[in-house]
Structure 1
């Protein structure tokens, strides 16, 4: 994919806000894989590798959060995990996930807000994975505590995204994201497992992966 194509998608993200971002995906879900799906491959590899290291039971119940069209779920299913649910705010993206025969068990189309709790029951999942959910006008940082509630004690949260959005997105910048992560650690809601960077020397393309174990 060219830089021009990627920039056009960023412009679409900027043209809306966090409450209307799903309109972009609803309109263009069928074009997502070809347009920018390959940009997530490195983040997906980091996420899948870590999942495979930490979660040995292939029947573990996994939630692919901000699943988009299901590219990450396909890779998780491809290494043997059999109990994966898809969660996304865009109904059109969930419909694309349904086309990935056998990858997902259940589908949840629900928009995330600061005020409303997730409809998912407490202690439902062994793992929440999220790749690329934190970017321009996307997930609020309040979702971190929502994830903790729906993951069983001893389960994991694996969250991977472009590191630069911690500086560039107002919802996360000036330490907001890292402060919330640390607050939840101090309150013993979860415990730090690892932080990994894909390419710390390259600011524009580096992914960061935060991994925590729920207490």
Structure 2
């Protein structure tokens, strides 16, 4: 008996999201399998970050479904299993200035019950010479490299990256592109929202249109 196609690892069906009375996402459909990649583009405020936050579970969809291995992630018991599959890199870096650079990575690695990867990850990201310094000495680009080092130190299959190249120099962008491809080669998935070109071989492309804000009436302001 012939087998059907594999169930997508992630599936969004007619996904919509309303925030502050405004429709930010409308009827988004998507499937993602192991090794997949997706680039999200569009102007500021078009919904890229909102889409990523829905994928993380930080926001619940107003309509539609988000399925992981065929299960609805809005179900609390399913979400507890799903969330440990995720890595989120956003504009807030969660770096503690008073901790050393290596402690800022090893802290999260220890929480995962793992060890031994943080220093290698920081070395790869070009931060070996500052790993024992307090994080407050880091530049914007170096702080971004710390965030990317966490991806390497704490392996998780689904990467959700919001403007991950912000602050990076050319070498940093090349390292970012390399680790995304390596992650996919090993079966991981990458979603990346960006305003600048990023190489992600054979990735799907989701273009978000400009969002027209609903005008407030006098009664809305009362």
Question: Which TM-score bucket, shorter chain as reference?
Answer: 0.3 to 0.5
The alignment's TM-score, normalised by the length of structure 2, stands at 0.33
The alignment's TM-score, normalised by the length of structure 1, stands at 0.34
Q: Write 1 or 2 for the structure with the bigger share of helix.
A: 1
